Amino acid sequence: MLTGLKNAFSIKELRGKIIFTIAMLVLYRLGAHIPVPGIPFQGITGLFSNTGTSVASGAMALLNLFSGGALAYVSVFSLGIMPYITSSIILQMLQAVVPSLHELAREGEVGQTKITQYSRYLTLALAILNSIGYLFLFKSFGISFNGADAPEIIFDIVIVGTLVAGAMLIMWMGELITQRGIGNGMSLIIFANIMAGLPQSIYSSVENGSSGILMTVIVCVVILIVIPLIVYIERGQRRIPVQYAKRVVGRRMMGGQSTYLPIKVNTAGVIPIIFASALLYFPAQIAVFFPGVAWIQVVAGALSSGWLNWVLNVVLIVFFAYFYTSMVFNPEDTADNLQKQGGFIPGVRPGRATAAYIKNALSKITLPSAIFLAIIAIVPSIVFSFTGNTLIRAFGGTSILIMVGVVLDTIAKVESQMKMYDYDGFFK
């Protein structure tokens, strides 16, 4: 691995991408600790302790987790990456029901550029809506604003504008990492958010004395056991044999070879968990508009933690696993491409029969992978509800899945870049 790291930094272009990615993530984490104008730094330390009810604190903890702790500091990046993720979910789902968007998605790079532009506009609208809600939230906690001589409306506009600008800056940084760095920018920002809270969670867990130390050791051992299992599932493939017919091209005989069609066991990756968490996170966003309405706070808290959250998480993860798999892997297109290239699955007729065969194989492997994702995501939440250990909340199944998935995806992209320069790979 050290040799692979050395080889990666010996390539000028790849070194520049890695350094650029690290620099953008560092800049993002710096922004997560810069308070918005008008809010004293010392006045926000008790933001979550003053919620008054466990229901509210559960929703607030979820909001803070996805912002990487930025919400607790009332920073310029308090909205986090969630407005961008929510807009992506909405557009992904609209592509399945709106014919014009579906056709636009099939137009390749030009269509994808337009969809990305729509996503930016929707992110802006959601950021404005969320920032107004957060303004009401901050005021409901009794946070005092500096500058008493100026009208309060001026500071309200400044705070909302700062939060919106922060959300759009995060979106821009994520897209910039994807274009000029290594890996998916959105996933790497989520990865940075999870890692940012890890040291404090470990300290809080160990601080509880001998029982806390024992629980910390147990959690770390379980994580070390689970990570290889996650990697095994992420790397798993269902290989469908494919035979290519012989054909004469000019004076040469082409085709005739046997190969396979690889289908990942977990085609959707960590996207189902991110999408499910974002949807369950949305009621907590709505609740910040109505801090004084008890039933809305109860609903937000129930969807943020507890048995209802666990059940909905399982249902949504399974749903998004199938939904996102159907978006990124089209059996009809695959069967059509095989037929055009003279390929066929032994024992299966080309065309519709091949598409049905691939679709059936895809459905069979998607269900167990989706259930696996749901179990990994839910079990730590259940354990946390009984133990209250902060390390389990911050570094639970969802966090591990996202982190392992992001690391594997980033390493794969680094290896693909290195192979262009005839290096063996990252782990060779």
Task: Dump pLDDT digits (tens) for 128-137.
Answer: 988 887 787 7
Mean pLDDT over 59-66 rounds to 63
8 A C-beta contact, residue 25 and residue 196: no
Residues in the chain: 428
**pLDDT value at position 16?**
86
Coil, strand, or helix at residue 237? strand
Looking up tokens 């290594």 gives: 182
What pLDDT does 49 receive? 47
Q: Is the pLDDT of residue 144 over 80?
A: no
Q: What is the pLDDT of residues 336-345, one digit of tens each?
A: 888 887 788 8
Q: What average pLDDT does the segment 22-32 reach?
A: 88
Rounded average pLDDT over 141-170: 77
- pLDDT reported for residue 165: 92
DSSP summary character for residue 144:
P
pLDDT of 29 higher than 50: yes
pLDDT at 245 > cutoff 50: yes
Q: Is the pLDDT of residue 13 over 60?
A: yes
**pLDDT over 80 (residue 217):** yes
pLDDT given at position 122: 92
102 backbone dihedrals φ, ψ, rounded to 5°: -65, -45
Mean pLDDT across 75-83: 84
Other Cβ atoms within 10 Å of 405 Cβ, number: 22
Q: Mean of the pLDDT values across residues 226-250?
A: 80
347 compared with 172, residue with greater pLDDT: 172
365, 238 Cβ separation under 8 angstroms: yes
Q: Are the C-beta atoms of residues 398 and 176 closer than 8 Å to each other?
A: no
Domain-wise residue ranges, the chain: 2-419
Distance between CA 140 and CA 294 in Å, rounded?
Answer: 13
Summarize the confidence of residues 65-77 as an average pLDDT.
75
Inform me whether the pLDDT recorded for 54 exceeds 60.
no
**What percentage of the chain reaches a pLDDT higher than 70?**
81
Percent of the chain having pLDDT more than 90? 5
- What pLDDT sits at residue 53? 40
pLDDT at 175 over 70: yes
- How far apart CA 42 and CA 86 sit, in angstroms, is 32
pLDDT at 128: 92
In this predicted structure, which of 84-88, 170-174, 307-311, 398-402 has the lowest mean pLDDT?
A: 398-402
Identify residue 232 by its one-letter amino acid code: Y
2-419 belongs to which CATH class?
mainly alpha
Is the pLDDT reported for residue 124 higher than 90? yes
Query: Per-residue DSSP letters for 153-210?
Result: HHHHHHHHHHHHHHHHHHHHHHHHHHHHSSS-HHHHHHHHHHHHHHHHHHHHHHTT-H
- What per-residue confidence (pLDDT) applies to 288? 67
**43 confidence band (pLDDT: 50, 70, 90):** very low
The pLDDT, as a whole number, for residue 307 is 82
Of 1-10, 72-81, 291-300, 337-346, the one with minimum mean pLDDT is 1-10
Give the least confident one: 122-126, 144-148, 278-282: 144-148
> Which pLDDT score, from 0 to 100, does residue 146 have?
57
Indicate the pLDDT class of residue 73, thresholds 50, 70 and 90: confident
